[in-house]
Structure 1
Amino acid sequence: MNSWIDISQRLDEKAAVWPGDTPFSYRLNWGKRDSGSVNVGQITMSVHTGTHIDAPFHFDDEGKRVIELDLDVYIGRARVIHLPGTDRIGLNELNSIGIEGVNRLLIYTGAWRDRSVFPENIPHVQPEAAAYLSEKGVRLIGLDLPSVDPLDSKELPAHHRLTRYGIHILEGIVLDDVPPGDYELAALPLPLAEADGSPVRAVLRKCR
């Protein structure tokens, strides 16, 4: 049987969040002893905690909200590539790897090893790579990082350029034990009507 591989971060109090953002918490609002029938929990978190997608509204006041995004982008054939040891993801790095006709590109960098600690620096997507990715057919880019831009960026050029070329953004995936190759991906956002992002349960299954 070809099993699904979970590439999502675990959500608990150890989950790293952007400095100053809302930490993850879960607590029981009602216990079975008190309610007489059920346990009912409550979670508090940023929509950009762990494995998540960015909606354009995250960085553009006129951008689409999560509920408006095309779900087809988040389900289907994907290619995992490895770019370990790099400090950027640009034309030079992508040119060496065949991605012709790839709609969903998932990139392992290995730069974020301890996901209980928010990283100080990460490889980033160079904005000029967006046109190249779009030309090859990419509609979704996924990274094992908390952002496609440098962590200190205020302008977020990669976010804007990727969106301009119709490329959706998936961040915080876990590809440590996933070999390069072609897979089926499912990483659906929640139907959040007003949100700028959404946590996802991202899974892969090796293509037959």
Structure 2
Amino acid sequence: MKEGNWTDITQPLKNGMANWPGDTPFRFELSSAKAENGAANIGQMTTSLHMGTHADAPYHFDDDGKRLEQLSPDLYIGNARVVDVTRVSEVGRKELESFDLDGVRRLLLKTSATNDPMTFPENYTELLPDIGPLLKEKGIFLLGIDIPSVDRVDSKELATHHSLDESGVHIIENLMLENVEPGDYEFIALPLALHGADGSPVRAVIRPLG
């Protein structure tokens, strides 16, 4: 969705949307209605913190990792480069070395996945653990993807999560990049200020530089 020069690249949170297998589904409802209490509508929601477009805190996959409130908002505001990797089924060092990433600090990967909020994908592009060291070498500290996870759905080791964390690279998952052209953008995707949390939904928006 576009508003002015900004493009919303957020997977919306709505009832009935697909969730990670076994995770808490998203549910919004009114806990109190204006028609009943005479004053205001008051909503409530239940959800996993990893529904829709969301940021992972290192605590998500490491008991000793930083929690959400320990991460700087600066990570999630600034310039970002969108790179098209739709032609490959896996993304590792070899694939990313073919792109000019000099000066990039936030990298958004546009894969071949169709990001349908109502359907959890049976398959999606695999990110290999060797991307972590490469992104560190380039000075990249944020990686955004348009798929549910940087690891495969059946992974228990979460090797790519750990590789990125060890390389100082933070993660945003489930961006909506299908209609976004490769290039450089202003980027905002602020997590909620959830103390002690392992992640948070974000509202992600971009607009072209220049």
- Bin the TM-score by the shorter chain: over 0.9
Distance across 2 between alignment mates of 1:2 and 1:77: 18
CA distance in 2 between counterparts of 1:196 and 1:158 reads 17
Pick from 54, 57, 60 the counterpart of residue 55 of structure 1: 57
Instruction: Provide, for residues 116-157 of structure 1, a one-character-per-residue CA deviation record: whole Å limited to 9, x for no partner.
Output: 111122212211111111111110000000100111100001
Alpha-carbon distance in structure 2 between the residues aligned to 1:58 and 1:127: 17
Task: Quote how far apart the aligned CAs of 1:14 are.
Answer: 3.1
Q: CA RMSD in A?
A: 1.2
Q: 1:13 aligns with which of 7, 12, 15?
A: 15
Name 2:157's counterpart in structure 1. Answer: 155
Cα separation, 1, equivalents of 2:116 and 2:34: 35
Write 1 or 2 for the structure with the bigger share of strand.
Answer: 2
Instruction: Trace 1:46-125 onto structure 2 (pairs within 5 A).
Output: 46-125=48-127
Residue 2 of structure 1: how far off its partner (Å): 5.8
Identity of aligned residues (%): 50
Aligned residues: 208
- Whether the 8 Å contact between 2:112 and 2:125 is mirrored in structure 1 is no
Q: Does 1:45 align with 2:47?
A: yes
Moved over 6 A (4+): none
User: Please, which runs of 5 or more residues in structure 2 have no aligned partner?
Assistant: none
Structure 2 length-normalised TM: 0.96
In structure 2, distance between residues paired with 1:138 and 1:175 = 19
C-alpha contact (below 8 Å) 1:32/1:38 kept by paired residues: yes
Q: 1:12·1:24 contact (CA, 8 Å) conserved in 2?
A: yes
Kept in 2: contact 1:6–1:204 (CA 8 A): yes
